[in-house]
Amino acid sequence: MFVIDASVVLAWCFGDESSADADRALARLENEEAVAPAHWPLEVANAIRTAERRGRIDPSELPRLRSLLATLPVEVAPVDLAAATGGVLEAARIHDLTAYHAAYLHLAAVRGLPLATIDDRLRTACARAGVAMVI
């Protein structure tokens, strides 16, 4: 199992964001499950909506994206207020991240799992925090 962030999933949705690292994470999902914090589905949906609004994707592509996303073996882990204002907030402060990005880092650290991301700031935070990366 590994933690997956929205940047990886969105790289599969948008051809102009594809990357070898995202492809490796997708290949890994063929044999194992991933986990993401509770805000992950909303972050993915918001990025898709923003891409649609900006003309990056056509509304006719939404069924394909929904189909792709529905097949992903990703557990959505709850984030309670104590964790959000505790470990997540502290990770955000230490690593100068948004709380959203820090939630991925915190989940990986707490569960002792590697993190799949193509976000440079989150990669740097993982290295500083000693969280393994999916590469």
Q: What is the pLDDT of residues 82-122, one digit of tens each?
A: 999 999 999 999 999 999 999 999 999 999 999 999 999 99
Q: Taking 80 as the threshold, does the pLDDT of residue 35 lie above it? A: yes
Residue 59, Cβ density class (10 Å: 0-12 exposed, 13-18 middle, ≥19 buried): exposed
- Residue 24 or residue 97, greater confidence: 97
Task: Name the helix (H) or strand (E) containing 47.
Answer: helix 40-53
pLDDT tens digit string along 46-60? Answer: 999 999 999 998 999
Q: Which two tokens stand for residue 92?
A: 């955000």
Condensed to tens digits (0 to 9), the pLDDT of residues 65-80 reads 999 899 999 999 999 9
Does 135 score more than 80 pLDDT? Answer: no
Question: Which of the four CATH numbers 1.10.3720.10, 3.30.360.10, 2.115.10.20, 3.40.50.1010 does domain 2-129 have?
Answer: 3.40.50.1010
The pTM assigned to this predicted structure is 0.93
d(CA 89, CA 79): 12
Where exactly are the structural domains of the chain? 2-129
How many Å apart are CA 40 and CA 42, to the nearest integer? 5
